[in-house]
Amino acid sequence: MNILIVDDEALIRSVIKEYLQLEGYNTYEAENGIEAIDVCKKNDIDLVIMDIMMPKMDGYTACKEIKKVKDIPFIMLSARSEEYDKLIGFDLGIDDYVTKPFSPKELVARVKAITKRNKQSDPLILAGIKIDDLAHEVYIDENLVLLTPKEYDLLKYLIENKNIALSRENLLSNIWGYDFYGDDRTVDTHIKTLRAHLGKYRNLIKTVRGMGYKIEDKK
């Protein structure tokens, strides 16, 4: 993951860089907003940690310009803690706001929280199947398909565990719950209707003889 650190103080950039790299993050640096915009245009940046008060171009302006190019998560740094400053940042769509002086460990924890949130919100994609979990919608070749709640949960679980053979008992317990009193035919029936919804991708769901099912990623 690529993180851009933007601050006019080299020592602050160095400290943040050290803590992030210890956690396995790849880092880029810029000392003002103009440099930050250039770095974001030339590199695939996943998150920006940016000071607000900087020479040449302040953090708010740089954030606004960068978001025109790519909607990257932002953590803003500031020596001021006024509510008005925070509101400006959140109106721009920043994800978090940290007041100086700050704990580098706390900053890393905030980075982890944001990246975890964003990862959870990324759609699940397999071939032409896309699951938008935030909207609770499924698309086949960009066309919305309507699934029952259990069909949705079953498809999501299969894709999350792609290429893994899942027993009927596993599927029953994870989709219907341990207190469900149905039998294996419940799984088979839902797999049949799910395949019908998937159209040309129906054959991605394979029957594992004597066990259950798996969905294959043919990449």
Would the pLDDT of 168 be above 60? yes
Sign, CA torsion 168/219/137/132? positive
Q: Which residue has the higher pLDDT, 4 or 132?
A: 4
- Using the predicted structure, report yes or no on whether residue 78 has a pLDDT greater than 90: no
Quote the DSSP letter at residue 150.
H
Q: What is the pLDDT of residue 117?
A: 74
At residue 178, does pLDDT exceed 60?
no
Percent of the chain with pLDDT over 90: 61
pTM: 0.58
Domain ranges of the chain: 2-121, 124-215
**The pLDDT value given to residue 136:** 86
What pLDDT, on the 0 to 100 scale, is given for residue 82?
62
> 2-121, what's its fold?
Rossmann fold (3.40.50)
> From the CA atom positions of the chain, what is the Rg in Å?
23
Instruction: For residues 94-111, give the mean pLDDT.
Output: 90
Phi first, then psi: give them for residue 198, nearest 5 degrees. -75, -10
SS (H, E, C) 6-46: ECCCHHHHHHHHHHHHHCCCEEEEECCHHHHHHHHHHCCCC
CATH of 124-215, one of 3.40.50.10300, 1.10.3720.10, 1.10.10.10, 3.40.720.10: 1.10.10.10
pLDDT band at 193 (very low <50, low <70, confident <90, very high): very high
Question: Average pLDDT of 7-32?
Answer: 95
Q: Which of 130-134, 198-202, 207-211 has the lowest mean pLDDT?
A: 130-134
